[in-house]
Amino acid sequence: MRWRFVLVLGGLGLAFVAVLWALHVAERRQLESQRQQLRNEDARQLGRWLEIADRPMQELLLDLAAAPEIRATFARPDPEWLRANVNAALADRSFDAVWLVRADGRLAHLAQRDGAAAPPELPGPERLAAAEHAGRRLNFFTTDRDALWQFRVAPVGTAGESAGWIVVGRRWTDDWLQHLGGLAEAQARLEAPSVAFDDAGGAGPLQARRMLADLDGRAVRQLVLERPWPADAEGGASPWPAALLFVAFGAALLAAVGLAVRRWVLDPLALIGDSLRRRDPAAIAPLLGRADEFAPVAQLVETAHADRNALQVEIAERQRTEVALRESQENLRHSIELRGRLARDLHDHVIQSIYAAGLGLEAVRGQLSADPFGAEGRIKHCMTNLNETIRTVRSYISDLEPEPPEKRQRFTDAVRALTATMHELWPVEFTLELDDAVATQLTNVVEIHALQIVRESLSNALRHGRASRILIRLQAAAAGGATLEVMDNGRGFDPVQRMGTGRGLVNLTTRAREMGATLRIESEEGGGTTVRLHLPPPGGAA
């Protein structure tokens, strides 16, 4: 619990710092948005400032183009009129040269400012006419000896007949750039058109650019207006001191909340947890006298301790009752199992032995007159078999195994003894293929059940099948465990029809299931019978 509260407070602190950082990022984005807005506005204003700066050139072009004498001047220049209207305008306005160019390209007049540099060569009349016909604005730039010149052109003519053009030119000098910068309250400079736009972000100045194109629309220079970002110009203070103060306040608030939570929540919860863990109501004694919300909780914990003690007493009583009931159920189950086992053993062993003795005595009756000595031998075998049956019945009555483990025969010896007895009492030929190494791996339970299955199978083969040859085979199975087979050449039967007519086949199936084995009976009318039992490996019996 304590660490969870620490994690919660730590998470709140991180969330606080994250919110502060998000506010800082939002402020930076807002500043960047303002910069972009100012940059876009400067770009729009730059065109207006250039229009304002070019207004004297436009006014001169309009005045000269509207003068009635201008067409006559193109045909026959009047020096007096040109000095008064053209040359005099150069002294008052901020441009350097005026050309009057006839439609055939011949120069009608050229006026230059005193001391101005030699003007560049003008474009030919074809280019001027093509630009005018294409509707392009006749305001273009050109370079001459690394100097930038600006030209504005106005056509002169009436009724679709062109008399020529009036061309006004200005050389862009440092003084002119300073004049433009003064209009925009920025620093103006010229750069090559290939120079990329450089925005230093929130720490740099604002820049506005405009490409200056020639008559064909190709950029020859770019005009750059640069002015400082208002926050830099004002020397704005960094927001981090206020942010640090805000963080310090948040940390102090979280520390106070943490101390309060520990004093009023975590410590009482620790006492309650310690009391529940040690099962000791004395640990919550300090909380019982408090006047806060934990006093009722402590009283409930104290009551829970008393209820738990009473419950433990009741649980102990119920556990003793459950043990007694379980012992009774186990005794009952053992009695039921013993009854079933006795019923199977009586059927499979005792009854079969008595029946075999009866068969032997029946055979002796016909042999007494012909072979008295042989009949006497058979009678002795019958007596031995009956005495063995009597001992077995006594052991069943005493709820003991048929023989003590130290005196019990091996499985293979028991099978051999059983077949020897059957051979003496019945005219049948036995073939035994018994693997002693496999037999030694069989458990006591498996040996008992397997021997009873062999007895029942032999009894069925002799009593019902009238078999004359019987093969008993015990060998290792490829999949593990062992395989026990009893095969006879008797009359055979239908296992499905015989399953519900007596206890013999049912007992075989029950014994196989109890020792975890798999039983399969193969038989048909007149084709003999095979009882195949797949015995489990050691440790696999049920």
Reported as a pLDDT band with limits 50, 70 and 90, residue 3 is low
What confidence tier does 148 reach under pLDDT thresholds 50, 70, 90?
very high
101-145 pLDDT, tens per residue?
Answer: 988 888 988 888 877 778 888 888 888 888 877 765 588 999 988
- Beta strand 482-488 with 429-434: parallel, antiparallel or unpaired? unpaired
For tokens 């009931």, what's the residue?
Answer: 325
Mean pLDDT is highest, among 80-94, 178-192, 286-300, 370-384, for 178-192
Asked if domains 35-233 and 411-416+426-542 share a fold, the reply is: no
Rounded to an integer, the average pLDDT of 256-265 is 75
pLDDT at residue 517 greater than cutoff 80: yes
pLDDT given for residue 232 in this prediction = 44
Q: Which of 4-8, 240-244, 285-289, 456-460 has the highest mean pLDDT?
A: 456-460
Say if residues 185 and 226 touch (Cβ distance below 8 Å): no
Rounded to a whole number of angstroms, the CA Rg of the chain reads: 62
Domain spans in the chain, listed from the N-terminal domain onward: 35-233, 411-416+426-542
- In angstroms, rounded to a whole number, what is the distance separating the alpha carbons of residues 31 and 11? 30
Alpha helices by DSSP H, 85-167 = 88-92, 125-133
Does the pLDDT value for residue 542 go beyond 70? no
By CB atoms closer than 10 A (0-12, 13-18, 19+), residue 21 is exposed
Mean pLDDT of 75-100: 83
Q: Are 519 and 535 in contact (CB under 8 A)?
A: no
Is the model's pLDDT at 156 over the cut of 80?
yes
Judged by DSSP in three states, 464 sits in coil
Mean pLDDT, the chain, integer: 80
Read off the pTM.
0.41
Task: State the distance between the two ends of the chain, measured CA to CA, in whole angstroms.
Answer: 51
Residues 350-353: contacts with CB within 8 Å, 24+ apart? 350/389, 350/392, 350/393, 352/455, 352/456, 352/459, 353/385, 353/386, 353/388, 353/389, 353/392
- pLDDT for residue 227 is more than 90: no
Rounded Cα distance, 132 and 138, in Å: 7
Average pLDDT for 159-187: 85
Express as a percent the part of the chain with pLDDT over 90.
12
Q: How far is CA 61 from CA 87, 148, 154, 165, 216, in A?
A: 13, 21, 6, 10, 21
Determine the average pLDDT of the residues in 353-360: 70
CATH number assigned to the domain covering 411-416+426-542: 3.30.565.10
User: Strands, DSSP E only, in 266-360?
Assistant: none
What are the pLDDT digits (tens) for 39-57? 677 667 777 877 888 788 8
pLDDT at residue 235, as a whole number: 43
Q: What share of the chain is helix, strand, coil (3-state, %, to 5)?
A: 60, 20, 25
Angle CA(136)–CA(141)–CA(142) in degrees, nearest 5? 125
Grade residue 541 by pLDDT with cuts at 50, 70 and 90. Answer: very low
Q: Residue 172's CB: how many other CB atoms inside 10 A?
A: 19
> Per the structure block, which two tokens stand in for 288?
């019982």
The two three-digit tokens of residue 429, written as one number: 């030929």
For the chain, percent of residues with pLDDT exceeding 70: 82
Question: Architecture of 35-233 per CATH?
Answer: 2-Layer Sandwich (3.30)
State the pLDDT at residue 382. Answer: 78
3-state secondary structure of 253: helix
